[in-house]
Amino acid sequence: MILFSSVLLIWKIIKFTYYGLTHTGTYPIEISHISYFVFSVILLSGIKKLYFTAGIFAFLSGCGYSLAGLVSPKSIVTSLDFPIFVMGIVSHMMLLLGGMLTLFKYHKYQIRYFYFPIIGLVLACILAYLAENHYIYPDATGLDNLVIIKLINGEILSYLGVNVGNAILNWTVTVLIFIVVALLIFLINKLNNFIFRKRLNNRYNFGLIPLVIGNRCYKE
């Protein structure tokens, strides 16, 4: 998992550094962009209390990308150059796999960990709001095409190709999506507990810090 996280982190640092140097106006604002760094940094640093958050960000990003390809293929399949399309699939499937391993293989997470990813997603929305209004990343471009921007503006139906002028309906769908995501995080926590119910309550330290002092399995 160290190698897995390292590859993702180095890959995305190089990618967004290149974008910054070439002034393309592309910044890590979308949820999946943030997930690369959240997932990799948490796992590499070995912050055990945030493993669940790392797993949730990675899992939601991988699932979200797959779902977006089904409901709005134009935004992914037909609007991207083939090499970028392939790299997008690879990186998001890495997130999905990493998220599943973190959530359902390594550790039983207590219910209090449910709140950490919720706080993280709220902070991601705040970041998107600041970027959209150019409080940060003043030269950012293409923001109207980002899912997170459409969510915070209550315009997610337009991403699905549904043009609805009813603001109440748009915001109702947006609120429902936030509720569904919160419920999904809660259910994932419950599923994690169910999977580990009859197992030893062990966890594996796979960050760089634990590696330095010696990886070990231990029972809480």
Neighbours of 100 (CB within 10 A): 15
Contact 31, 68 (CB under 8 A): no
- Three-state SS letters, 18-55: HHHHCCCCCCCCCHHHHHHHHHHHHHHHCCHHHHHHHH
Summarised one tens digit per residue, pLDDT across range 65-95 is 888 777 666 666 666 677 777 888 899 999 9
What pLDDT is stored for residue 216 in this prediction? 46
106 has a pLDDT exceeding 60 = yes
**Per-residue tokens: 199:** 């197992």
pTM: 0.86
CA pair distance 28, 40, nearest whole angstrom: 14
108 has a pLDDT exceeding 90 = no
Radius of gyration of the chain (CA): 18
218 has a pLDDT exceeding 50 = no
CA pair distance 157, 150, nearest whole angstrom: 8
Mean pLDDT score, 175-196:
92
Say which range, 61-65, 106-110, 180-184, 202-206, has the weakest mean pLDDT: 202-206
DSSP string, 71-104: H-GGGTTTTS-HHHHHHHHHHHHHHHHHHHHHHH
What pLDDT is stored for residue 199 in this prediction? 67
The full set of domain ranges for the chain reads 2-213
- Predicted confidence band at 168 (pLDDT cuts at 50, 70, 90)? confident
Summarised one tens digit per residue, pLDDT across range 110-155 is 888 889 999 999 999 999 999 999 999 999 998 888 889 999 998 8
What pLDDT is stored for residue 207 in this prediction? 58
